[in-house]
Structure 1
Amino acid sequence: MKRALFSCFWVLVTIPVFAQTDPQSQAHGARSQGMGNVKLFSDDSWAYFNNIGALDRWSDTQISVAVDQRFGLKELSTLGISGALRKEYGTYGFGISRFGGDLFNQQIVGMGFSNTLGIVSLGTKLEWFQTQIEGFGSGHGLVFCLGGVAELGPKIFLGAHFSNLTQSKISKYSDQKLPALIQMGLGYFPTELLKILVELEKDVDLTPSVKAGIEYQLGEWILLRTGINSHPSRLSFGLGIRKDRFGLDYGYGQQSALGRTHHFSAFLKW
């Protein structure tokens, strides 16, 4: 009986609203959110969540915090923290994320490692994913992910990330599997001030999504961003501030059917 109730409730909450806010498929960090939810070429500790393979290529040793507010509902908010520890032989990463409210919430806790060998950076991570539903109990599973970035030329990069390779389920009480995502993309950096990113993301159970984002550095410490997402259709804008070891980012998203999303994140590096 408990298994049936848990499964039924999970089906109900995986309506499009939740599918668009699922912590496994959403980009983490306001920088990515302000660029159309692109993820493969994160240059900070949020690469732990977005593409573990990119962590060693661009990220310094740092710690970051973030909060997302979606569609004016606190029940769809996300809190997150990520960190990167750079060593001579690679970069360690960790992440903690909590999505939802008192009635329904999901937690992610995990660690990973990324290393660069020549033109290729590869990484892997293992995460503990818990779903809790008030009155129905909780379930959890282990999620294994693999990602990478390859330098095709001085200004062109190829990125890929594969989530939930183990096809883990939401809990032992449910046959529902956690999201399994395949992401591929190209990054073009024509100058040190401009980044152009294009990505394709496919959940095995959902329609493919095409994403594109642009970041331009205005002056010494201001970054301007914009991006689009095809599914769900969404337009994004963002602003970043960099000063010495500190960074602050804001991302804004507009979805025609559901409304606005606001994303804030900050980091400190050393």
Structure 2
Amino acid sequence: MQGLRTQAKSLRYFHFQGMVKDWSVFSELVHLTNIQELSFVKANFRCSEIEMLASSSFPSLTKLVFDTTSFRFPIIIPEIIIQSSGRKLRTFSLPAYFYPSYDGFTPTVALSVAKYCPNLVHFEYHTTKREFSQLVILFASCQNLEKVMLAGNPEDANELFIKLANLELPNLREFEITAQWSYTAISLESFLIRSKAPLRCFVIRSSPCFSDDHLDVVLRCLGDKLHRLYVESAQEMTKLMLSKANESISDFVYKMIDEVYNPGWLLEG
């Protein structure tokens, strides 16, 4: 920690990985006033460090990453950092995390990002259906979004696509859905046409529903404007549709999966 203190003013990147016995290291973060990137990987946060992080402010922060982290209290720590240091944030990532189940508790991470991160460009998040309305607010508020990855457990996502269709997303060039969501080709078409998102890369992983009809919608709506299309689905595509996709898209990959993996440890349903 003494070494960290001596580099406090010049340090630009702080990466924390794994378990730790002495959480007082977080008390040193308050001194990292010029930090630009914060990254926490496989960290198991307890209650004691909440106050330490709450007293810290990072006015130059542009990238904040939490990868496979656990929060043992119904306060999601990224929200605390976002509220004090989100103004210049361009990248925020929370693709897989755990919090204990408390009745009536719903994370408001997406809502905090929408409110405090107007310059966000890259957003990755594991979401539940209860947070879909927050996502709509986020897309509406963060007009500079270029790259989005959404993860999640099995949900009906038709309502989300229909609500996003009411927004214009002029800068969204990469969209990845790493979620076991079900949605119709009609709702997907509504989103692609009405949002006017200029997608160049569209990635679908672990899908239980993506079928010939969905692929047809993508080809009709995006056509040769799409540079990359990756589809991982439990549905078998016909040779005709696969041939059309290969002709239209320079980088097209389709993988059929036998079953969709459900990571039950991630959040509650």
TM-score, scaled to structure 2:
0.24
Higher helix share: 2
Say which one has the larger Rg: 2
Relative contact order: is structure 1 or structure 2 higher (C-alpha 8 Å, sep ≥ 6)? 1
